[in-house]
A and B are shown apart, each in its own frame.
Chain A
Amino acid sequence: MTFSATNLLLVVVLLLNLFFLATSRIRALIQAAALQGVVLGVLPVLIHGRIHWNTALIAIATIVLKGSVIPGMLRRALREAQIKREVEPLIGLVPTMLLGALGTLLSIGFAEGLPLVPEHRGLLIVPASISTVLTGFLLLTTRFKAITQAIGYLVLENGIFIFGLLLLEAMPFLVEIGVLLDLFVGIFVVSIILHHINREFASLDTRRLASLRE
Chain B
Amino acid sequence: MSASVSPVAIEILAAACIALSGVPGCLLRRVPAAGQPTATALNGLGSAAGLLGLVAHARGGDAEIVLPWALPVGRVAFGLDGLAALFLVPILLVSALGSLYGASYWSGRDHPESAPRLRLWWGLMTASMMAVVLARDAIAFLMAWEAMALAAFFLIATEDDQPEVRRSSWIYLVATHTGTLCLLGCFALLAHVQGSFALWPRLASGGSAWISTAIFALGVTGFGLKAGVMPLHVWLPGAHANAPSHVSALLSGVLLKTGVYGLVRVCGLLPDPPLWWGGVLLAIGAVSGLLGITLALAQQDLKRLLAYSSVENVGIIAMGVGLATVGRALGRGDLVVLGLAGALLHVLNHSLFKPLLFLVAGNVLHATGTRRIASLGGLARTMPRTFVFFVIGAVAICGLPPLNGFAGEFLLYAGLLRATRVDPVGWVWAGLAVPALAMVGALAVAGFVKVSGIAFSGSARSSDAAHAHDPGGSMLAPMVALAGGCVLLGLVPSAALPLLERAVAAWDPEIAAGTPSLAQLVPFGWISAMGLLGIASVAGVATLLAWRRPESSAAGTWDCGYARPTPRMQYVDSSFSETLVGLFDWALRSRRASPELRGPFPSRAHFATRVPDAILDLAVLPLLGAADRGFARARALQRGPVHRYVLYIGLAVMLVLLVAR
Indicate if A touches B (C-beta under 8 A): yes
Given A137-B646, A141-B647, A141-B650, are A207 and B641 neighbors across the interface (CB < 8 Å)? yes
Number of residues on chain A facing chain B (CB within 8 A): 16
User: Hey, what's the 0/1 contact readout for B353-394 against A, CB within 8 Å counting as 1?
Assistant: 000000000000000000000000000000000000000000
**A140 to B641 CA separation, bound complex (whole angstroms):** 12
Interface secondary structure of A, over-half rule: loop
Most A CB atoms within 10 A — which of B635, B639, B640, B643?
B643
Query: Contact at B642–A209, with CB atoms within 8 Å?
Result: yes
In the complex, chain B residues whose CB is within 8 Å of the CB of A207? 641
Given A137-B650, A141-B650, are A206 and B643 neighbors across the interface (CB < 8 Å)? yes
Query: Contact at B640–A140, with CB atoms within 8 Å?
Result: no
Whether a CB of chain A sits under 8 angstroms from the CB of B638 is yes
Query: Contact at A211–B640, with CB atoms within 8 Å?
Result: yes
In the complex, chain A residues whose CB is within 8 Å of the CB of B641? 206-207, 209-210
Given A206-B641, A207-B641, are A214 and B635 neighbors across the interface (CB < 8 Å)? yes
User: Hey, what's the 0/1 contact readout for B441-453 against A, CB within 8 Å counting as 1?
Assistant: 0000000000000
B308 vs chain A, min Cβ distance (A): 40
Query: Contact at B642–A142, with CB atoms within 8 Å?
Result: no
User: Hey, what's the 0/1 contact readout for B642-653 against A, CB within 8 Å counting as 1?
Assistant: 110011001000
Query: Contact at B640–A210, with CB atoms within 8 Å?
Result: yes
Which residues of A are in contact with B by a Cβ distance under 8 Å? 90, 137, 140-144, 149, 206-207, 209-214
Q: Can you show 10 pairs from A to B with CB atoms below 8 A apart?
A: A137-B646, A141-B643, A149-B642, A206-B643, A209-B641, A209-B642, A210-B641, A214-B635, A214-B637, A214-B639
In the complex, chain A residues whose CB is within 8 Å of the CB of B646? 137, 140-141
Contact residues, B447-473 vs A (CB, 8 A): none
**A144 to B643 CA separation, bound complex (whole angstroms):** 8
**A142 to B643 CA separation, bound complex (whole angstroms):** 7
User: Hey, what's the 0/1 contact readout for B626-640 against A, CB within 8 Å counting as 1?
Assistant: 000000000111111
Chain B, interface size: which category? 10 to 19
Closest chain A residue to B650, Cβ basis: A137
B320 vs chain A, min Cβ distance (A): 50
Contact residues, B602-661 vs A (CB, 8 A): 635-643, 646-647, 650
B653 vs chain A, min Cβ distance (A): 9
In the complex, chain B residues whose CB is within 8 Å of the CB of A210? 639-642
Given A137-B650, A141-B650, are A213 and B643 neighbors across the interface (CB < 8 Å)? no
**A210 to B643 CA separation, bound complex (whole angstroms):** 10
In the complex, chain B residues whose CB is within 8 Å of the CB of A209? 641-642
**A46 to B404 CA separation, bound complex (whole angstroms):** 99
In the complex, chain A residues whose CB is within 8 Å of the CB of B642? 149, 206, 209-210
In the complex, chain B residues whose CB is within 8 Å of the CB of A141? 643, 646-647, 650
**A210 to B640 CA separation, bound complex (whole angstroms):** 4
Contact residues, B46-88 vs A (CB, 8 A): none
User: Hey, what's the 0/1 contact readout for B282-302 against A, CB within 8 Å counting as 1?
Assistant: 000000000000000000000
Closest chain B residue to A106, Cβ basis: B654
In the complex, chain A residues whose CB is within 8 Å of the CB of B643? 90, 140-144, 149, 206
**A149 to B640 CA separation, bound complex (whole angstroms):** 16
Most B CB atoms within 10 A — which of A137, A143, A214?
A214
In the complex, chain B residues whose CB is within 8 Å of the CB of A140? 643, 646
Contact residues, B532-550 vs A (CB, 8 A): none
